[in-house]
């Protein structure tokens, strides 16, 4: 038996999840993808975990698809087998957006194809100086839009920059990613985890339901039909939160000049 494809380190309300196929540059095989599916699907029932930090072991974040890592035992036709592979990976990106916990991704080395999409599907991205990302699909005779790239990238960096990279498959480096707002900060590799934990601590200072509903509103309102629809979601969430015990605690703590003690109630 080899090592588990994910290494999970639970630190109270924060969970650090590491892609753990360093000898294969964390490329996506069946074991890694189904482990990611199980993990992100399970977060829906784990409110005690409030924040996820996603990283890769070794020299790369994730260098894309492992072409030899998907078995076909002969019971599936070529199209059926390809569809199973395609949908299995795409499901991970959907589950990342559906889970209520914010995901802080730490990118370093290569983040290609599906690895690029793992970063795009996260909520906050920090980059090491050596991060190089691309939508590699068009380089191997496929369309340049895959694994959510045509959905996420234009919303994150705008249509012109997204088109430049999706139509060519060329690499985006850390400096370009910072300049177009795709990553929040470039951090030396040895300091990436410290930076993520500092941000996670800031998030932990908020009310648990408030944090979950903020991610939910951001997800929904990026596709809202207009300002009125976006504000309707915000209005409903704020009215709900205003009757919670955590809201009353936050007001008391503010007036008493002390840190709040939230109970997720």
Is residue 263 situated within a structural domain?
Answer: no
Higher pLDDT, 83 or 169: 169
Max CA distance (Å), the chain: 68
**92 within some domain:** yes
* CA–CA distance, 138 with 71 (Å, rounded to integer): 24
Residue 229 falls within a domain, yes or no? yes
Is 222 found in the same domain as 139? no
Are residues 198 and 211 located together in one domain of the fold? no
Q: 78 and 152: one domain?
A: yes
Write the CB contacts of 200 (distance below 8 Å, at least 6 apart in sequence): 14, 51, 53, 104
Q: Is 132 helix (H, G, I), strand (E, B) or coil?
A: strand
Mean pLDDT along residues 155-163: 96
Average pLDDT estimate for 55-77: 84
Give residues with Cβ within 8 angstroms of 82, minimum separation 6: none
- Domain shared by 47 and 157, yes or no: yes
Q: Which of 165, 187, 203 is the last residue of a domain?
A: 203
**Residue 23 main-chain phi, psi, to 5 deg:** -65, -20
Q: Which of 203, 220, 236 is the last residue of a domain?
A: 203
Whole-model pTM over 0.95: no
Instruction: Specify the range with the lowest mean pLDDT, choosing from 60-74, 83-97, 241-255.
Output: 60-74
* Amino acid 229: pLDDT: 86
Percent of the chain with pLDDT over 90: 73
What are residue 111's phi and psi, to 5 degrees?
A: -135, 90
User: What mean pLDDT is predicted for residues 9-18?
Assistant: 97
User: Are residues 180 and 97 both part of a single domain?
Assistant: yes
For the chain, the average pLDDT equals: 93
CATH assignment at residue 126: 3.90.226.10
- The closest of 183, 182, 147, 143 to 166, measured between CA atoms, is 143
* Helix (H/G/I), strand (E/B), else coil: 46: coil
Same domain membership, residue 190 and residue 218:
no
DSSP conformational letter for 65: B
> 5, exposed or middle or buried, with CB in 10 Å at 0-12, 13-18, 19+?
buried
Co-location of 78 and 138 in the same domain: yes
Do residues 250 and 168 share a domain? no
13: in domain: yes
pLDDT at 76: 65
Note the pLDDT of residue 238. Answer: 86
Quick one: pLDDT band at residue 75, thresholds 50, 70, 90?
low
Give the CATH number of the domain where residue 217 resides. Answer: 1.10.12
- Whether 1 maps to a domain, the answer reads no
**pLDDT tens digits, 93-124:** 999 999 999 999 999 999 999 999 999 999 99
Distance CA 104, CA 101 (A): 10
| DSSP at 222 | T
Measure the CA dihedral 104/108/113/116, to 10°. 30
In-domain check, residue 60: yes
For residues 135-163, average pLDDT: 93
Other residues' Cβ atoms within 10 Å of the Cβ of residue 43: 19
Question: Binning pLDDT at 50, 70 and 90, where does residue 140 land?
Answer: confident
Number of domains observed in the structure of the chain: 2
Tell me which of 171, 187, 203 is where a domain ends. Answer: 203
The mean pLDDT of 198-227, rounded to a whole number, is 94
If asked whether residues 81 and 12 sit together in one domain, one would say yes
Residue 54, pLDDT score = 98
pLDDT of residue 1 exceeding 70, the answer is no
Q: Mean pLDDT across the stretch 27-54?
A: 96
- Rounded-to-10 torsion of CA 109, 181, 223, 119: 10
Provide the residue range defining the domain that includes 252. 206-256
Mean pLDDT to the nearest integer, 4-27: 97
Domain for residue 111, yes or no? yes
- Cα separation, 197 vs 219, whole angstroms: 23
In a shared domain, residues 219 and 155: no
Positive or negative, the CA dihedral 216, 183, 7, 135 is positive
User: pLDDT by residue (tens digit) across 178-210?
Assistant: 999 999 999 999 999 999 999 999 999 999 999
In a domain, 265, yes or no: no
Q: What is the pLDDT of residue 199?
A: 98
Are 120 and 229 contained in the same domain? no
Q: Are residues 158 and 131 in the same domain?
A: yes
């Amino acid at each position: 038996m080899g090592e588990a494809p994910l290494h999970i380190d639970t630190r109270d309300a924060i969970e650090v999840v590491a892609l753990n196929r360093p000898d294969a540059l964390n490329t996506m095989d069946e074991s890694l993808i189904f482990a990611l599916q199980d993990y992100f699907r399970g977060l829906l029932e784990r409110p005690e975990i409030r924040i996820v930090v996603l990283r890769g072991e070794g020299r790369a974040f994730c260098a894309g698809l492992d072409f030899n890592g998907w078995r076909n035992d002969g019971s599936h036709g070529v199209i059926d087998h390809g569809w199973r592979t395609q949908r299995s990976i795409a499901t991970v990106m959907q589950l990342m957006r559906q889970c209520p916990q914010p995901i802080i991704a730490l990118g370093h080395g290569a983040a290609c194809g599906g690895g690029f999409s793992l970063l795009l599907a996260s909520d906050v991205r920090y980059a090491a100086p050596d991060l190089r990302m691309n939508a590699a699909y068009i380089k191997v005779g496929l369309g340049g839009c895959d694994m959510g790239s045509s959905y996420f990238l234009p919303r994150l960096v705008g249509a012109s920059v997204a088109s430049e990279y999706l139509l060519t498959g060329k690499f985006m480096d850390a400096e370009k990613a910072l300049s177009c707002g795709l990553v929040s900060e470039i951090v030396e590799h040895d300091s990436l985890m410290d930076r993520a934990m500092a941000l996670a601590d800031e998030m932990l200072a908020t009310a648990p339901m408030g944090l979950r509903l903020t991610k939910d509103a951001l997800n929904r309102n990026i596709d809202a039909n207009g300002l009125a629809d976006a504000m309707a979601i915000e209005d409903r969430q704020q009215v709900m939160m205003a009757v919670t015990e955590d809201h009353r605690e936050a007001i008391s703590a503010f007036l008493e000049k002390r840190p709040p003690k939230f109970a997720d109630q």
